[in-house]
Amino acid sequence: MSKGAFPNHRVVSPAKLNLMLHITGRRPDGYHELQTLFQLLAYGDEMDFQLTAQPQIDLHSQINIPVQDNLIWRAAQMLLPRRKNTHGVRITLHKHLPLGGGVGGGSSNAATTLLMLNTLWACELSTDQLAELGQALGADVPVFVRGHSAWAEGIGEALTPVTLPEQWFLVACPSVSVSTAAIFQHPGLTRNSQITTIRTALAGGGRNDCETTVRALYPEIQRMLDRLAAWGTARLTGTGGCGFVSFADQDAATEAAADMASEYRVFVAQGVNRSPVLTYLETLP
């Protein structure tokens, strides 16, 4: 760091898995009523945040989408009117998570940006305010803003923090990306699951209601889930396309990952109850 330069803050923008996902109804505005268990992971994209003397937002992201559409850019723009100092920021995204994989990378990046800039720009917004801003960017943003594994209802915004066993997960990502909107618009999707309880879900009950439709539309995902099933109960996360299996220990997960790695992009990650971004923010003065 050169003299006078601002420090660089590197944080892990975590992924999530939906351990189960039931669709219990559809609202008049087209959004679906869900019940889902969000498991945060100690793995994700890495993001660098460094304040600058110039007031602009300078985003370096390897993903091939127009900057105005990047959820990081959009999150930063939302906080700009609340900035209480004169600094700009240089944000660099090191993308590790697949796009449109159901592991929530874009939503997580948006939430990480809201959390980091709220501190670095001294915006002083409460967690509730940040979660509300985040929800306008996507249904999955609030869970990452609150930064805790959670039971979600409503359209995914009514969150109850939960403590989950910190198991290991093998996540496999097929080379296809699934459009969340397309799955939710599909006529074959089951939308009438019985309301279940948080207790049943925590005990491992439940399934992913999107899975039948996703399997039918994407043979490659069907094949991947069938391959994963060699190690246990294989599930789709979100609207896909990634699937996962849980393990009690890291070695077993790593062994299974090695077996799948020649065919699929895979990663092994531990489930965590608290987001690494919150842990990082606690270290700041």
Ligand X SMILES: C[C@@](CO)(OP(=O)(O)O)[C@H](O)COP(=O)(O)OP(=O)(O)OC[C@H]1O[C@@H](n2ccc(N)nc2=O)[C@H](O)[C@@H]1O
Task: Select 88 or 101, whichever has its Cβ closest to ligand X.
Answer: 101
Query: In the set 12, 72, 130, 256, which binds ligand ADP (CB under 6 A)?
Result: 72
Tokens of 183: 């799955």
DSSP states of 72-95 as a string?
HHHHHHHHGGG--SS-EEEEEEE-
Q: Which residue is nearest to ligand ADP (CB)?
A: 106
Residue written as token pair 């799955």: 183
Which segment (104-112, 119-127, 160-168, 254-262) binds ligand ADP by CB under 6 A?
A: 104-112
Residues linked to residue 60 through DSSP beta bridges, in sequence order: 92
Does position 88 interact with ligand ADP (CB under 6 A)? The reply is no
Residue 129: exposure state from Cβ atoms within 10 A (0-12, 13-18, ≥19): middle
CA–CA distance, 112 with 89 (Å, rounded to integer): 14
- Name which of ligand ADP, ligand X, none residue 113 binds, using a CB cut-off of 5 to 8 Å depending on partner kind: none
| Annotated binding residue 108 | yes
Residue written as token pair 């609202």: 27
| Annotated binding residue 99 | yes
CA–CA distance, 134 with 277 (Å, rounded to integer): 15
Binding mask 145-184 for ligand ADP (x = CB under 6 A): -----------------------------------x----
Note if 3 is an active site residue: no
Note if 140 is an active site residue: yes
Give me the least distance between CB of 268 and ligand X, in Å please: 20
- Name which of ligand X, ligand ADP, none residue 99 binds, using a CB cut-off of 5 to 8 Å depending on partner kind: ligand ADP
Task: Select 88 or 142, whichever has its Cβ closest to ligand X.
Answer: 142
Footprint of ligand X on this chain (CB under 6 A)?
A: 18, 21, 30-32, 34, 36, 102, 104, 107, 138-140, 155-156, 180-181, 184, 238-239
Catalytic residue among 48, 140, 226, 251: 140
Residue 189: exposure state from Cβ atoms within 10 A (0-12, 13-18, ≥19): middle
Residue 182: exposure state from Cβ atoms within 10 A (0-12, 13-18, ≥19): exposed
How many amino acids of this chain bind ligand ADP (CB under 6 A)?
19
Catalytic residue among 3, 16, 58, 249: 16
CA–CA distance, 152 with 273 (Å, rounded to integer): 14
Does position 44 interact with ligand ADP (CB under 6 A)? The reply is no
CA–CA distance, 210 with 243 (Å, rounded to integer): 12
Closest CA to 14 of 36, 42, 38, 37: 42
CA–CA distance, 40 with 143 (Å, rounded to integer): 9
Residues at the site binding ligand ADP, with contacts judged by CB under 6 A: 63, 65, 69-72, 99-107, 109, 140, 180, 238
Binding residues: 98-108
Catalytic residues: 16, 140
